[in-house]
Amino acid sequence: MKSFRGFIIKEFYHIFRDKRTMLILFGMPVIQLVLFGFAIRNEITDAKISIVDHSNDYITLEIKQKLLSSGYFLLQDDIDKDSDIEAVFRKGVVKEVIVFEQEFAQRLLRDGSAHIQIIADASDPNTANMLIGYTSSIIQDYQKSLKNQSSFLPQILPEVKLLYNPELKSVFMFVPGLIALLLMLVSALMTSITITREKELGTMEILLVSPLKPFQIIVGKVIPYLFLSFVNTATVLLLARLVFGVPFNGSYGLFFFEALLFVITALSLGIMISTISKTQQTAMMIALAGLMLPVIILSGFIFPVSSMPWPLQVFSNIVPAKWFLIIVKGIMLKGIGIEYLWKETMILAGMSLIFVSVSIKKFKIRLQ
């Protein structure tokens, strides 16, 4: 036991003596959270649009004013030929073009109908959809103001109650996502590197002939990172509360317990990666290039899992970050306890168990 303690202390020294890595490890989450928290938005404001007005009468003027004063749109280029639209779109700045037909006001008043064409750059379908939605609702509002009737129609008023995030802030989504991303990659990457590094430098052999048991060696290597990840979690949480006002409705104890569990899952994944890779290079590429996009895309960090095609929904179940995200959002935003989260907790624990047993198996094979 004494040699084990000495070993852990040695591992701590290794990490903490390297000032630059320290700076990166502790500074990185802070910078990223602040940057992303302020910068990443899904809502659209100030989208650049162009208007082709073949009519230029008082009604088109009024509609244009309504659009541009809405806060959603900024007029980028005024073009006067339909043939210019293509060129404007290809530059990539303008996302929507609105075309008023000739004699717009006259047609509207005389014939009772006039045409507006809204063309969206649908290379980004999501933005295109939102922009067209905004535009048509503004035009419809204007249309309603033209005719003051419809008072005797039946009306069904939907009352909307948005639970857990009434202002629909994206940052409430990104904070839990970032915690998951940081913990996952830092833990998996760090352990996988640190173990393969000993293999590469040949020092693993030395450790293996020492009185330490292989199990102790692995645990000893992992404990400092466990500690480090914990500090990172706390920092990110503190920032999220203080800077972004993300609510925390659940229990801190449960939160840190679950974070600990997730870190253990990630660390054991790291250990597994290190047992299947010979060099640091391989380990790092698996941990970084292999995990980064799946953690971002398949975990529900940015894209809702339930909207994915069903094979991918099934597939996303093997991404530990997905379960952790459900847990974190549940605790922070919904304020629910273990009685709702036991399933996710069990899954994470089960995953850790699998990773660890695969590692032990691989490790033993290598020793024989």
Partner 1 sequence: MRTIRFLIQKEFIQIFRNKGMLPIIFGMPIIQLLILTNAATFDLRNVQFHLIDRDQTTTSRKLVEKFTSSEYFIPVAQSFSDEKGEENLKSNRARMVLNIPGNFEKEVLSNKVSHIQFIINAEDGNAAGLTQTYASNIVHAFAMEYQSVWSSVDNPKQIKIDYSFWYNPELNYETYMIPGILVALVSMIGLFLSGMNIVREKEIGTIEQLNVTPIKKHEFIIGKLLPFWLLGLFILGFGLFVAKLIFNIPIMGSLWLIFGTAAVYLIVVLGIGLFISTVTDTQQQAMFIAWFFMVIFMLLGGLFTPIESMPSWAQNLTVVNPIAHYIQMMRGILIKGAVIGDISFQVIVLSLYSIIMLTLSVLRYRKVND
Q: State in angstroms the smallest separation of the CB of 294 from partner 1.
A: 7
Q: State in angstroms the smallest separation of the CB of 210 from partner 1.
A: 23
Considering beta carbons, is residue 4 or 235 the nearer one to partner 1? 235
Considering beta carbons, is residue 160 or 365 the nearer one to partner 1? 160
Helical axes 252-276 vs 338-367, angle rounded to 10° = 20
Q: Amino acid letter at 15?
A: I
Q: State in angstroms the smallest separation of the CB of 1 from partner 1.
A: 29
**Pick from 12, 363, 6, 361: which is nearest to 214 by CA?**
363
Residues 258 and 331: beta-carbon distance below 8 Å: yes
**Pick from 185, 141, 158: which is nearest to 24 by CA?**
185
**Pick from 232, 236, 253: which is nearest to 244 by CA?**
236
Considering beta carbons, is residue 201 or 353 the nearer one to partner 1? 201
Q: Give strand pairing partners of 74.
A: 48
Considering beta carbons, is residue 328 or 351 the nearer one to partner 1? 328
How far is the C-alpha of 348 from the C-alpha of 325, rounded, in Å? 11
Q: State in angstroms the smallest separation of the CB of 190 from partner 1.
A: 8
Considering beta carbons, is residue 314 or 353 the nearer one to partner 1? 314
Considering beta carbons, is residue 3 or 124 the nearer one to partner 1? 124
Q: State in angstroms the smallest separation of the CB of 140 from partner 1.
A: 8
Q: Amino acid letter at 99?
A: V
Considering beta carbons, is residue 4 or 48 the nearer one to partner 1? 48
Q: State in angstroms the smallest separation of the CB of 68 from partner 1.
A: 16
Q: State in angstroms the smallest separation of the CB of 331 from partner 1.
A: 11
Longest dimension (CA), the chain: 97
Q: State in angstroms the smallest separation of the CB of 21 from partner 1.
A: 5
Q: State in angstroms the smallest separation of the CB of 125 from partner 1.
A: 4
How far is the C-alpha of 287 from the C-alpha of 303, rounded, in Å? 22
How far is the C-alpha of 261 from the C-alpha of 300, rounded, in Å? 19
- Spatial neighbors of 313 by CB under 8 A, at least 6 apart, are 305, 306
Burial annotation 251-287 (CB, 10 A radius, 16+ → b, else e): eeebbeebbebbbbbbbbbbbbbbbebeebeebbebb
How far is the C-alpha of 199 from the C-alpha of 205, rounded, in Å? 8
Considering beta carbons, is residue 264 or 291 the nearer one to partner 1? 291
Considering beta carbons, is residue 1 or 289 the nearer one to partner 1? 289
Query: How many CA atoms lie within 13 Å of 166's alpha carbon, on the beta-carbon side?
Result: 2
Considering beta carbons, is residue 152 or 253 the nearer one to partner 1? 152
Q: Between the CA of residue 124 and those of 26, 127, 294, 333, what are the distances in Å?
A: 36, 6, 21, 30
Residues 186 and 267: beta-carbon distance below 8 Å: no
Q: State in angstroms the smallest separation of the CB of 3 from partner 1.
A: 25
